[in-house]
A and B are shown apart, each in its own frame.
Chain A
Amino acid sequence: MDCPDVRELLDAYALGAAEKREAQQLEEHVADCVRCWEELTQAQQSAALFAFSITLQEPPTSLERRILARAAQERDAALRGSTPLLRRLRISWPVAAGAFGLAGAAALAFTAFLQVQMSDLRDDRDNLMQQVAEARVRLDDQNQIFNVLFDPNQQTKMMPAVATGSSAWGEYHWSKTAGQGVLACHDMPPLAEGEVYQAWFVAQDGQIPAGTFESTDGDCWYPMEPARTPVGLTGVGITREKRGGSNTPGEWLLFASLRS
């Protein structure tokens, strides 16, 4: 495929409409032809902007929580698998040095070793930043619980089980001073695979998702999200939903009316 052929096909390729065989030939050509590559880049930019022609819609707000929770979870898992910095530095260099007897080879190896260690140091810096960020999230949660429970003017409302025969119960604690609320729950019915508990604010114009959480023993202390309590609340409650949460509450497990 030569330059004129490629230019005939650029737009179709950028739109993803080229046949597979033609697309492969074009890719082989632009790999060696700077000019066609530049024209292809421009065609791809035009094609990408096409996405703006559609009417934009927001996904459910629960999706953000689901994605962020997953991201945090994966970051934590990576942290747990990391090796402490000092131990690795102490042990691995003598082992590496012993593997090379000749001076020239050792010098070469030392350079390579330093590169690896630099890479490790970068990884460790990344891990430290992860730990700081994660600790800050936990601290925010703990602060919210502290702010509410240690407010001398804290208010509490009993949250009884809605289903007959359930032994679950809870309490909603809130602080007007802090503008924050915390849920405590006990003896909650177990979660099935893929389920989470979801907290809800209930206001006059509808229910507001307040985050999801899990509990292995049926008890919980849960700082409500958003941390700043919405105004005009008429109730709070907990439901059981699929992981990722819901936009509308299913069956209430616990509920408390906040109407005075």
Chain B
Amino acid sequence: MPDVSPEEIAYSGLDDEELMERIRYRDLKAFQALYRRYTALVYSTCLRVVRDPHIAEDMVQEIFLRIWRKPESYVNQRGRFLTWLISVTRNRAVDEVRSRNRRLRHESASPAEQDFQPPAPPADDPALSAELADQRRLILGALAVIPSEQREIIQLAYFGGLTQQEIAERLGQPLGTVKTRIRLGMQKLRAALTPQLRWEDR
């Protein structure tokens, strides 16, 4: 139940790059604003991969404190902060699963449908800011056009941390089929996300 002061409202109006610039000067309010903006996304991604709320919390702490300690690890010339943050989060979560060898315990045979939901208006997700809600609506719309067998494999790779070979073994499919489905699925996703990716380049 955070108490929102006018100062916090002002910070929440700054974009990611401006907040990161202030974090470089050890501005705790900027760090708090960044945390509040992305904590749900980072936590949910960690939780989706590691399937343990306590480990997910520890990872959120580790990821945000890493940003606080080494804000220079984000270089804005290489892309948007959000893309970087999601990549860092996903990779850290997958590393965690691998290191703890929990894969067999938390992976079900078909996780693809577990979290997929039809596109929903942003108002259905109060945890998201309007901009993030737009992106979420876009990605859900893009996922809806990908055949389920392609979507399932992509999700196994992204959230399950499995390689193509491991996915083939898990699903009992030829490796060539898995490779093709990943490629076709991602091509469709990219085509559907073209406006978004153009926006990312700005």
Contact = CB atoms under 8 A, between A and B. Distances in A.
Contacts of A42: 190, 197
Interface in B77-94: 78-79, 82-83, 86-87, 89-91, 94
Interface stretch (A60-68, A183-191, A248-256): A60-68
Interface in B151-202: 154-155, 157-159, 161-165, 167, 179, 182-183, 185-187, 189-190, 193, 196-197, 200
A126 B25 contact: yes
A16 interface: yes
B15 interface: no
Contact of B1 (A41, A51, A75, A208): A208
Contacts, number: 182
30 contacts: A11-B183, A11-B186, A17-B157, A18-B163, A41-B78, A43-B186, A43-B190, A46-B186, A48-B83, A48-B87, A49-B86, A49-B135, A50-B155, A50-B158, A50-B159, A53-B115, A54-B44, A56-B40, A56-B125, A57-B40, A58-B39, A68-B28, A68-B32, A68-B35, A70-B61, A70-B65, A74-B65, A130-B25, A137-B28, A230-B1
Interface of B: 1-3, 24-29, 31-32, 35-36, 39-41, 43-45, 47-48, 53, 56-57, 60-61, 64-65, 68-69, 78-79, 82-83, 86-87, 89-91, 94, 115-117, 125, 127-128, 132, 135-136, 138-140, 143, 154-155, 157-159, 161-165, 167, 179, 182-183, 185-187, 189-190, 193, 196-197, 200
Interface of A: 8, 11-12, 14-19, 41-61, 63-64, 66-68, 70-72, 74-75, 78, 125-126, 129-130, 133, 137, 208, 225-228, 230
